Structure 1
Amino acid sequence: MPLLVMKFGGTSVADLERIENAAKKVRKEVERGYYVIVIVSAMSGKTNELVGWVETTSKLYDAREYDAVVASGENITAGLMALRLQEMGVPARSWQGWQVPINTTSAHGSARFVSIPRDNLDAKFAEGFKVAVVAGFQGVSPEGRITTLGRGGSDTTAVAFAAAFGAERCDIYTDVDGVYTTDPRICAKARKMDKIAFEEMLELASLGAKVLQTRSVELAMRYKVRLRVLSSFEDTDETSGTLVCDEEEIMESKVVSGVAYSRDEAKITLVTVEDRPGVASAIFGPLADAGVNVDMIVQNISEKGHDDAHPGAVTDMTFSCPVNQVERAKRAVEDARAAGSIVYEDLVVDTDVAKVSVVGIGMRSHAGVAAKMFSALAAENVNIKVIGTSEIKISVLIDRKYMELAVQALHDAFELEKA
């Protein structure tokens, strides 16, 4: 019999009524002839509550005990979902990560998958069980301790199970009915897409779209797992939601598929840096060691130029990072200067910027995307501070107050409301 993986996020299992609603969707797939592996998150808000309890109890907590506490939210949901399915007459049982087992690394709080053996679940399916309800977000270390995968880990759990069991599809049920061309809360013309390529979804997820966790899309792309994003709160069928799939499954791609944004960005500039081989390494090595997630990087001739005060070659180095990492970035750069590994005159920080990006696999074969993007922004008097590109995306840093205007202007410019 064919197998499906169905994942329900926190809002989809927020209370007993919603768990019952999710269970009805699972029963519907069983009645269609599928075995089902259900991956569940903790009830909405429960993980934050558990994290708060840990931090209140122990400021410098043991990461292993943190995982033991925080993983319990998913265990509760899994048990309740299995009970509800049993009450509906569906043969189901719950599984915690260590029971499967979901083997991970020992990096507590951010563990990675090592393997998911099929034997235990296959044995239960052979006994007549139709549904395995698995607690998402968790696994077991080589030392036998409970581990967690980091925020959004249940999406990744679902994709990993779909890959390990050769599932026909992995359905991600959430509080939206698919992937949109941009955030409908910002742009009323945003359109739900029927299909989107893995590469496009990966870029959108990494650039700020909150629909899918980035690691889950990476895993799906690597193992060619067909993902479907759809709503827990609507009646659905095979045509519902948005299918995230291989590029070959999409007949004709638009040049630009979507507009993404990230509100909480910062721009940091090192002014008058000594221009010599190895200077970039001397700057970005300490930033990496400090765990700063550097995104866009621009190096240009310094405004100071060559004069009596600056007889040697100098440059300005600009990069962007999340605004909540600014202090960490400043400390890393200042420590590097104090150690003598880099020389610069000033450190300029702008925490009032946003990143807006256009994404589309059609960019590979079409010219003029950048020109159209920049023209659309210019028409709205939006000044561009930094530009970054890849094969299928163009990103710009702009003043945060213009972010929503920029998103709407770009959505209109590329006519994304049209199918």
Structure 2
Amino acid sequence: MALIVQKYGGTSVGTVDRIEKIAHKIDAFRDKGDDLVVVVSAMSGETNRLLELAEAVHPHVRGRELDVLLSTGEQVTIALLSMALNRLGCPARSYTGSQVHILTDNVFNKARIRTIEQEKIRADIERGCVVVVAGFQGVDEQGNITTLGRGGSDTTAVALAAALKADECQIYTDVEGVYTTDPRVVGEARRLDRITFEEMLEMASLGSKVLQIRSVEFAGKYNVPLRVLSSFVEGPGTLITLEDEHMEDALISGIAFSRDEAQLTITGVPDHPGVAYRIIGAVSDLNVEVDMIVQNVGADDTTDFTFTVHRNDYERSLAGLQTAATELNAREVRGDTKIAKVSLVGVGMRSHAGIASKMFGALGKEGINILMISTSEIKISVIIQEKYLELAVRALHDAFELARHPKDRVDTANP
């Protein structure tokens, strides 16, 4: 008998009909003898509807009252799913985050989980109940309702699996697993049988929307086996786990990409110690996260800085950089919002050379100019013009033969 934590996203529970189908799926699992804790999101579109209501009453509202409002979405789902399970003769009991006492810090709208009380859950499991928990929410030490931010239900599920020492945490969504890249861009994209926590974390941070980043961090930290499956199609999904000896079969596991990029450049800055801090600090002080950075030193004792930010932060960053440019007597500030980031991810890079040159060759063959480059032990990211994004992803997918199983590929370590 195994203890499984399952999570169903908004699409999976988007209608009463789908909730009933999920109830049948859960009942079938229970018939196999497994103990189940189920975490659910709000019904598809419900969180956005609640946000629109809040905006209508108080534009740009944040804080405690918004969390009180948003937490109601999941409360509807846990009640409906528990009703559907009980109707099937499958004992079920629902809990909000505060009822099961998922203790968080007091950062409203983006709280972090501290501890989870297990007594109620374990008592219900012992009685043969399926425990249905509202994702995305918790409670702080003062009893205030908190929410975990977008995608927080994934984090709730992984945190529960870690606390309960579950055998596996299964994330059910509208895709059949983690793919080598987005199948909407590359029709031949292949579902991965398994991927490491490290690779999944890179892919999530680089643009893959399958899993929320914090949930992958949590799973890796506590070594919770994580499996991504489809709510609508039966299959093995993708197992996310620790690296093992089989992981080196694949040099590249996947290609992640992001369209939400913007580039900023400041030129003609005096090449003096502390200048980099003054430039990047002017943007960081606006609570903007800087991603890739390139510095070029000129022959006239000046330097140029180019860096990227999220496109939503572009206008604020541009204003901050222009202020810094005036103070530093820089030559020019310019920006570009028509860029995109494409990244190769794979633990196999650790033990194989030639990946970067093969990547650059494939892009060059398609006439795609590389604007910036960033590397780490298991990833290579490039900034290119946005209009070439899909062409770049397809070219790289072909160059590294990602549509084929690693054992069937030719040696791609050398171009």
Whether the TM-score (by the shorter chain) exceeds 0.5 is yes
- Provide the rounded CA distance (Å) in 2 between the counterparts of 1:188 and 1:350: 30
- Deviation at residue 249 of structure 1 after TM alignment: 6.7
**Counterpart residue type for residue 384 of structure 1:** I
| Aligned pairs for 1:22-171 within 5 A | 22-59=22-59, 61=61, 63-126=63-126, 128-171=127-170
In structure 2, give the amino acid aligned to 1:254: A
Q: Name 2:360's counterpart in structure 1.
A: 374
For 2:353 and 2:248, the matched residues in 1 are separated by 17
SS at match of 1:179: coil
Equivalent residues of 2:325, 2:333 under 8 A apart:
no
1:248 pairs with one of 244, 258, 267: 244
Q: Which residue of 2 aligns with 1:345?
A: 331
CA distance in 2, matches of 1:109, 1:359: 31
Report the secondary structure of 1:97's partner residue.
coil
The aligned residue for residue 325 of structure 1 is 313
Matching of residue 14 in structure 1 with residue 10 in structure 2:
no
Query: Contact 1:10 / 1:41 at 8 angstroms: preserved in 2?
Result: yes
CA distance in 1, matches of 2:162, 2:319: 42
When structure 1 is superposed on structure 2, of 32-41 and 248-257 the one drifting more is 248-257
Native 8 Å contact 2:41 2:77 kept in 1: yes
1:295 alignment partner in structure 2: 291
Inter-CA distance 83–370: structure 2 relative to 1 (3 Å threshold):
same
| Gap regions ≥5 residues in structure 2 | 406-415
Supply the distance in 1 between the matched residues of 2:310 and 2:278 (Cα, whole angstroms): 21
Alpha-carbon separation, structure 1, partners of 2:320 and 2:128: 54
Q: Which whole-Å deviations, capped at 9, do the CAs of 1:178-215 have from their partners, x for residues lacking one?
A: 11101111111111110111111111111111111111
CA distance in 1, matches of 2:24, 2:282: 52
Q: Report the equivalent of 1:182.
A: 181
Deviation at 1:63, TM superposition (A): 1.2
Alpha-carbon spacing, 1:251–1:204, altered in 2? closer, same or farther (3 Å): closer
Hey, what does 1:309 align to over in structure 2? none
Task: List runs of 5+ in structure 1 lacking aligned partners.
Answer: 307-312
Per-residue deviation, 1:2 = 2.6
Deviation at 1:71, TM superposition (A): 0.9
Match for 2:358: what amino acid? K
Determine if contact 2:4/2:167 at 8 Å carries over to the other structure. Answer: yes
Contact 2:62 2:109 in 1 (8 A): no
Query: Who is 2:412 aligned against?
Result: none
- Distance in 2, matches of 1:234 and 1:418, equals 22
Which portions of structure 1, spanning 4 or more consecutive aligned residues, are displaced by more than 6 angstroms?
Answer: none
| Residues 1:330 and 1:380: Cα distance change in structure 2 (over 3 Å) | same
For residues 201-253 of structure 1, give each alpha carbon's deviation from its aligned partner in whole angstroms, at most 9, with x where no partner exists: 111111111111111111111111111111000134xxx10111110274543
- By how many angstroms is 1:60 displaced? 5.1
Counterpart amino acid of 2:385? D
1:276 alignment counterpart: 272
Q: Which moved more, 1:28-37 or 1:201-210?
A: 28-37
Q: Deviations over 1:46-66 (max 9, x none)?
A: 000001101110125351010
CA distance 1:416–1:62, change in 2 (3 Å): closer
Task: Give the conservation status (yes or no) of the 8 Å contact 1:195–1:250.
Answer: no
Give the letter for the 1:115 counterpart. T
Name the SS for the 1:217 alignment partner: helix
Q: Does 1:173 align with 2:161?
A: no
Aligned-residue offset at 1:330: 1.3
Question: SS in structure 1 opposite 2:233?
Answer: coil
Query: How many pairs are equivalent?
Result: 405
CA contact (8 A) 2:13 2:77 kept: yes
Residue 209 of structure 1 is matched in structure 2 by 208
SS in 1 for 2:169: strand
**1:352 is paired with a residue of what secondary structure?**
strand
For 1:249 and 1:34, the matched residues in 2 are separated by 30
Give me the whole-angstrom Cα distance separating, in 1, the residues matched to 2:325 and 2:63. 33
CA contact (8 A) 1:201 1:217 kept: yes
- Quick one: distance in 2 between partners of 1:46 and 1:360? 36
TM-score under structure 1 normalisation? 0.94
RMSD: 1.3
Question: 3-state DSSP class of the match of 1:412?
Answer: helix
| CA distance in structure 2 between the aligned counterparts of 1:169 and 1:2, rounded to whole angstroms | 8
Instruction: Give the structure 2 partner of residue 261 of structure 1.
Output: 257
Aligned to 1:247, the other structure's residue is in SS state coil
Identical-pair percentage: 52
Residues 96-131 of structure 1: per-residue CA shift (max 9 Å, x gap): 0111100001000000011012112112223x1421
More divergent stretch after superposition (264-273 vs 47-56): 264-273
User: SS of the residue aligned with 2:339?
Assistant: strand
Q: 1:343, CA displacement in angstroms?
A: 4.0
The answer to whether the 8 Å contact 1:197/1:250 transfers is no
SS in 2 for 1:11: coil
Q: Is the 8 A contact 1:172 1:229 kept in 2?
A: yes
Q: Secondary structure at the match of 2:227?
A: strand
Separation (CA, whole Å) in 2 of partners of 1:261 and 1:62 = 30
**Counterparts of 1:297 and 1:252 in 2: how far apart (Å)?**
30
Q: Is the 8 A contact 1:354 1:398 kept in 2?
A: yes
TM-score, normalised to structure 2's length? 0.95
Match for residue 418 of structure 1 among 400, 404, 414: 404
